[in-house]
Structure 1
Amino acid sequence: MPKVPVNDIDLFYDIKGQGEPLLLIAGFLCDHSYWSLIMPSLVTQYQVIRVDNRGMGRSSAPDSPYNIQQMANDVAALLDHIGIDQVNVVGHSMGGQIAQELVLAHPERVKSLILLSSLAKGDGRFNHLISTWGYLPSHIDLKLYEQVVLPWIFTDEFYAIPGMVEQLIEWAVNYPFAPATHTLYHHSRAILGSDTQDRLHNILCPTLILVGRQDILTPVKYSEQLAQGIPHSELVVIDGGGHGILIESLDTVISVMLKFLEKLPKLM
C-alpha cells in the first residue's frame, strides 16, 4: 500500500479493482478503512481509490493548521501522481466537504459527485459540537472519546443490537493507526472553517446527495441545502439511517450509489 509525497506530506492511498476510477474520501475520525464494508460491492465494477486524509491513518500528521481546501489539494496531487484525469468522487461527512472543494477547484476532473451525510456549512449547534470534539482528545482517553462521539453517529436501533457499539469501540481503541490528538483538533477547525454555500451553484457535475433520516449530526436540512444549491443534484433520504449510514444502512447505500453511477455515461 503506497504513499506519495504531496504538499510537504506523505499521503497514503490504496487502489483496488478494475474499471472507471472511483475516489472515496472519509470524514472526521476516519481513514480509508471506513470504506471496508462497501468495498466488495465496488471493486467488481470500479477502480476504487481510497485515501487517508492528512493527519489520519498512515498519512503524515503535521501539528499545524489544516483546512478543507488544503486536503482537496492533497487529493488532486494524488490524482496527478497516479495519472487519473477524471474520476467519480464519493465523500462522507468531512470527506464530502473535501469533495466539494475538489470539484470547485478542478471541475474538469470530477465526472460525478456523491455526498454522504455532508454539508455546505454548519449551524451554531453543529459548530459548538465539532469545536468540543476538537478539544476533548487532550482531556480524555480514546475509549471515552468514542463513547462520547458514537451516540451522534448511530441510531437507537443500532444501539439496541447487543454488543455492536462495544465492538466498534474496542476496534477503535486497538486500531494501530489511531489519530493523534492534534489531528482531531486541526480537523475540527478545518470543518468549522469550511463554507461552500455561496459556491454550490458552480458544482455542475451530476451529484447524488444521500443522508439518513435520523442523522442528528448532519441532519436532513443540510442535505436539502446542498440539493437546493447544486444544479444537477438528486437527494435521497434513507429511512432509519443515522450519520453512520455506511455501517448501519450499508445495503441501501450500496444500492442507491450503484444505481446513480450506472446511469452516468461511461468515461472514454
Structure 2
Amino acid sequence: MMGGLPCLSIGDGPPLIVLLFTPQAATPTGLGRRYLMRTVKPFTEHFTVHVLNRRPGLSPTTTMAELAAHYAGAIETTFTSPVNVLGMSTGGSLALQLAADRPDLVGRLVLGGTACVLGPIGKRAQRAYIERARRGQRPSPALAELVTESTISRTLVKALGWLADGRKDHIDAATMLNAEDGFDLRGRLHDVKAPTLLVQGEKDLVYPLELARQTACGIADVRLVVYPGRGHGGTFTDKRFSADALAFLNGN
C-alpha cells in the first residue's frame, strides 16, 4: 500500500509512478499481473516502479479530480520531491489530471495512448461498459469496437471479453470509467508544467490522433511521438514505447 492505495513496487532506482486501468481496485493477479509485469519490466531496470491503483469501494459519482487528489495524497506522504509519472490510456487521463492539479508533485510526465478528453468512439464504448456493469452483465464485450474496426474480429473480441470477465464484480471498474467519461482537461492544459512526452498510435480509436495533437498544443513543454499504423493497444506493445519513454525520462 502507498498512502492507502494498492501499490505494487518493483525495480531499483529513483521512483516512477505508473498509472493504468485495471478491472479491480487491487494489485493485478493471474494474466493481468503477467501483462503488467511485461509492460513495466523495461522500466524496472532504471527505476523503482510503483504501480498505483485506486482505492476500492469508491462512490459511483467519483470524479477524475477526486481520484487525482487520492493519488496526490499518496505521493505527497511518501516522497519528498517531485516524481516521474507514466500514465497509459485511462491512466494517462488520470496522470494529466494529477499533473494539472498538482504540478508540484510531477517531475517528468510520460503519456501513452491518451488525450485531454475521450474521443466519441471511446465515450460510446465506455458508457456501454458502465451500463452493462451496473446491470450486473459482463461488461467487457462493450469495448470490442475500441480494439478493431473489423466486424468479424469484433465478434471474436466480444466472446473473449465475455469469457475473461468471469463472475467478477465490475462496479468498481465502471466507477473509474465513469470518472473518465466526465474528464475534459481541454481548458486546463496550460496548468501542466512538467516536461511531457505523449506517445500516440496513428489509428487510435479511443483517443484519436487529432485529440492527441490538441493535447500537445496545450502543454507548454511537450513532445508528441506518433507511431504510424498503430492502434490503441499497439502503442504500448510497440517495442519503441519503452525505449522512447526511458530516453525521455532519463533526460534525452
After TM superposition, give the deviation of residue 129 of structure 1 in Å.
Answer: 3.0
Q: Distance in 2 between matches of 1:125 and 1:18?
A: 39
3-state SS, counterpart of residue 222 of structure 1? helix
* 1:51 matches 2:39: no
After TM superposition, give the deviation of residue 204 of structure 1 in Å.
Answer: 2.0
* 1:229 matches 2:229: no
3-state SS, counterpart of residue 229 of structure 2? coil
* 1:26 matches 2:6: no
After TM superposition, give the deviation of residue 147 of structure 1 in Å.
Answer: 3.3
Segments of structure 1 that go 5 or more residues without pairing to the other structure are 6-10, 55-59
Do 1:204 and 1:231's aligned partners in 2 also have CA atoms closer than 8 Å? yes
1:79 matched residue in structure 2: 75
The size of the alignment, in residue pairs, is 242
* 1:108 matches 2:104: yes
Q: Distance in 2 between matches of 1:130 and 1:167?
A: 17
* 1:204 matches 2:193: yes
Aligned in 2, Cα 1:3/1:35: closer, same or farther, shift over 3 Å?
same
**What CA deviation, in whole Å up to 9, does each residue of 1:72-127 have, x standing for no partner?**
11111111332352111111122112111211222121111111111212354543
3-state SS, counterpart of residue 244 of structure 1? helix
3-state SS, counterpart of residue 49 of structure 2? strand
Do 1:27 and 1:91's aligned partners in 2 also have CA atoms closer than 8 Å? no
3-state SS, counterpart of residue 263 of structure 1? coil
After TM superposition, give the deviation of residue 181 of structure 1 in Å.
Answer: 3.3
Query: What pairs with 1:105-254 in structure 2 (closer than 5 Å)?
Result: 105-139=101-135, 141-142=137-138, 145-153=139-147, 169=161, 172-173=164-165, 178=168, 180-245=169-234, 248-249=237-238, 251-254=239-242
Alignment identity in percent? 21
Q: Distance in 1 between matches of 2:66 and 2:205?
A: 27
1:96 matched residue in structure 2: 92
Segments of structure 2 that go 5 or more residues without pairing to the other structure are 28-32
Do 1:38 and 1:246's aligned partners in 2 also have CA atoms closer than 8 Å? no
After TM superposition, give the deviation of residue 16 of structure 1 in Å.
Answer: 1.2
Q: Distance in 2 between matches of 1:49 and 1:112?
A: 15
Aligned in 2, Cα 1:155/1:42: closer, same or farther, shift over 3 Å?
farther
2:246 matched residue in structure 1: 258
3-state SS, counterpart of residue 231 of structure 2? coil
Query: What TM-score comes out, normalization by structure 2 length?
Result: 0.83
Aligned in 2, Cα 1:24/1:155: closer, same or farther, shift over 3 Å?
farther
Do 2:126 and 2:142's aligned partners in 1 also have CA atoms closer than 8 Å? no
Aligned in 2, Cα 1:166/1:193: closer, same or farther, shift over 3 Å?
closer
1:14 matched residue in structure 2: 8
3-state SS, counterpart of residue 232 of structure 2? coil
After TM superposition, give the deviation of residue 149 of structure 1 in Å.
Answer: 1.3
1:38 matched residue in structure 2: 39
**Residue type at the aligned position of 2:170:** T
Do 1:27 and 1:94's aligned partners in 2 also have CA atoms closer than 8 Å? yes
